[in-house]
A and B are shown apart, each in its own frame.
Chain A
Amino acid sequence: MNPSRRNPLISMLWDWIGVVPFFVFITAFLIFPSLNLFSGAFKDANGNFTFTNLNFFTDSYVIKSYITSLQVSVITSVVGGIFGFMVAYAIVLGRTPRWMRNILTTFSGLAANFGGVPLAFSFIATLGRTGFITAILKNICYNGADGSAVCPFNPYDNGFNLYSLLGIVLAYTYFQFPLMVLTITPALQGLKRDWREASENLGASSTYYWMNVALPILWPSILGAMILLFGSAFGAFATAQALTGGSLALVTILIGQQIRGDVLGNPNEGYALALGMVVIMAFTIAGYTLLKRRTARWLKV
């Protein structure tokens, strides 16, 4: 069959036929449930349209869960982001030996994929009450004035608790900073050596170069990477669940309880809870897009 003789409409339909299975699948198992979630947030138990589910957001424990989730996400994406950026710097621009750069790169690839339940177990084994680092710190003792042993470094005597916000932040950082390393490395590699040299040549200090050239150029990439970190922390469930057994009320944990039906009340409030997360993610990405456009006018040619 000569394609040029075909009816153009049929020929166009024919071009699309190969992607039908994919779009059917996506529509059924991604788009449809998402839309359903959206509409469910505005329905009452009988399926009638309502805004009352949104009143749910005035409940103090809901607000608190969102604040906690945002706290965890912002802290880990900023801490993990800065830490990861520094490590990427050490890999790409630092004068470190080859073996070190190789190990750091390889482990970033691995650790960014470590997460979930096993990661929680690792931190319990390391920083839990009987964890290996806790044990070391606990056993740093000396004899006090009255002859009894004083052990000032036991973290659990100093207000540390792994099964808390701080513990979650420590655990999340384990996959956050490698994720940053992976996402920011290409951008750092894109910094031309010539820029740095041109800057030095014009009499500028290293700090001046970083403030006026390197960071402004990297800024959109850094922001983008941090958004990714924010999203990965905001949506994380397994690590928090396994670490705190659900005692730390993150939004994800709350949604999990809604699914199980542990929380009494209107099931449609679960939809609202979930929708709230999507809205926050959407705002974050929109904000990023806007900020990127403003900080990087030069990207538009």
Chain B
Amino acid sequence: MSFLKLTNVYKLFTEIPAVEDFNLEAEQGEFISFLGPSGCGKTTTLRMVAGFEMPSSGQITISGKDLTYVPPNKRNVGMVFQSYALFPNMTVAENIGYGLKASGKPKAEIKQRVEEMLELIHLGNLGARFPSQLSGGQQQRVALARALAIRPQVLLLDEPLSALDAKIRVELRQEIRRIQQQLGITTIYVTHDQEEALSLSDRVVVMSQGRIEQVGTPAEIYTTPSTEFVARFVGQINLLPIHVVDQPAGLVKVGQQPVRTSRSVNYSDEKALRLAIRPEELNPGHREDANNLTGVVETVTYLGSIVRIRVLIEGNSVLMDLFNERRLRLPAVGESFELNFDTDACWLL
């Protein structure tokens, strides 16, 4: 049986649905990300798990216990807030011990647990500081320690890294994952950053406009997005209009140029069909056993480790990402250009 379960959860804010028909089952120790643009309902869903919002209908259970209408302070669910929400009038140690003290644990136990937590987040010597004396990254760690100190059944993180510098963000990301795996705690992580979601999670829930678009492992989400929204939101994607030439053989045409696909796709709704392919799957030059398309170079953009080339093919702009290797010969703008890709690198959406 799954550990954390959301069943048919709806949330309406004055008649406007914020979350619609949300269903999810998480295993014990699983790390799940809610990924989506702002306003997609991911934070609202998280807040329903925490108990700050009541679902308009549906059910939320943790290890078989119905928590749907249990008040937040009776749930034993740890939450890390986007703003950290550290209590400014308390030291780091007091912040971490807050939940234990509120539930009337003995002093010695609190002290020991706080030290454990400080150790866990590598801030052992900062227990006496006030939050205002810490850096953003340190504050974030304290917030994490505070949420974990009460030994919660589930850990909830609401965009915990969005206020930090890019560099610290990557560092803390790994830290969060390390701690999560060390404790084996079931975790829900809300983010709008696809890189965070993909790099951290066991599974990713992509949301848009209150609905789940797709649930899957990071690899599934990236390589086989099931909707156009997911394809566009996670990574870069080229979508080219096609018309079907030979349905059973998987042969289609982009303008006048033939393309062979290997995946089984539902061809019923022909007019919406488009050929999807990631920029990094495209290679320069001609290859006999692959698909080949010819166009004209529009722009060449230098991005450091990657060079992005935009090619106009049959009236569509196609992005191609190449590793910036020294032997790379960059095409000139306006040049005729041929690119190739494997038959199983592309699919129809």
Interfacial chain A residues near B78, Cβ < 8 Å: 201-202
| Cβ distance B60 to chain A, nearest Cβ, rounded Å | 15
Are B132 and A301 in contact, CB atoms less than 8 angstroms apart?
Answer: yes
Q: Which residue of B81, B99, B102 is within 8 Å of A197 (Cβ)?
A: B81
Interface size on B, residues (CB 8 A): 32
Q: Is B83 an interface residue (CB 8 A)?
A: yes
Q: Is A118 an interface residue (CB 8 A)?
A: no
| Cβ distance B287 to chain A, nearest Cβ, rounded Å | 55
Are B103 and A203 in contact, CB atoms less than 8 angstroms apart?
Answer: yes
| Cβ distance A206 to chain B, nearest Cβ, rounded Å | 8
Are B98 and A197 in contact, CB atoms less than 8 angstroms apart?
Answer: no
Q: Is B3 an interface residue (CB 8 A)?
A: no
Are B73 and A195 in contact, CB atoms less than 8 angstroms apart?
Answer: no
Instruction: State A296–B318 Cα separation when bound (angstroms).
Output: 60
CB contacts under 8 Å to A, within B36-61, are 50-52
Instruction: State A208–B100 Cα separation when bound (angstroms).
Output: 12
CB contacts under 8 Å to B, within A224-276, are none
Q: A208-B102, A297-B130, A301-B133 are in contact. Are A203 and B150 (CB under 8 A)?
A: yes
| Cβ distance A40 to chain B, nearest Cβ, rounded Å | 45
Q: Is B146 an interface residue (CB 8 A)?
A: yes
Are A199 and B98 in contact, CB atoms less than 8 angstroms apart?
Answer: yes
Are B72 and A195 in contact, CB atoms less than 8 angstroms apart?
Answer: no
Interfacial chain A residues near B79, Cβ < 8 Å: 197-198, 201
Instruction: State A197–B43 Cα separation when bound (angstroms).
Output: 14
Number of A-B contacts (CB under 8 A): 83
Are B89 and A217 in contact, CB atoms less than 8 angstroms apart?
Answer: yes
Are A298 and B130 in contact, CB atoms less than 8 angstroms apart?
Answer: yes
Interfacial chain A residues near B130, Cβ < 8 Å: 297-298, 301
Are A204 and B83 in contact, CB atoms less than 8 angstroms apart?
Answer: no
Instruction: State A205–B74 Cα separation when bound (angstroms).
Output: 9
Instruction: State A200–B70 Cα separation when bound (angstroms).
Output: 12
Q: Is B222 an interface residue (CB 8 A)?
A: no
| Cβ distance A86 to chain B, nearest Cβ, rounded Å | 22
Q: A192-B83, A197-B85, A213-B87 are in contact. Are A204 and B132 (CB under 8 A)?
A: no
Q: A212-B98, A213-B87, A216-B89 are in contact. Are A200 and B132 (CB under 8 A)?
A: no
Interfacial chain B residues near A201, Cβ < 8 Å: 50-51, 72-73, 75, 77-79, 147
Q: A213-B89, A301-B132 are in contact. Are A198 and B81 (CB under 8 A)?
A: yes
10 further A-B contacts with Cβ under 8 Å, apart from A194-B83, A197-B81, A217-B87, are A194-B82, A194-B85, A195-B87, A198-B87, A202-B102, A202-B146, A203-B103, A204-B73, A212-B98, A298-B89
> Which 7 pairs between the two chains have the least Cβ-Cβ distance?
A202-B99, A194-B85, A204-B102, A198-B85, A200-B72, A216-B89, A298-B130
* A interface residues (Cβ-Cβ under 8 A, vs B): 192, 194-195, 197-205, 208, 212-213, 216-217, 296-298, 301
What are 6 contact pairs spanning A and B, CB under 8 A?
Answer: A198-B146, A200-B73, A212-B90, A212-B102, A213-B89, A298-B88
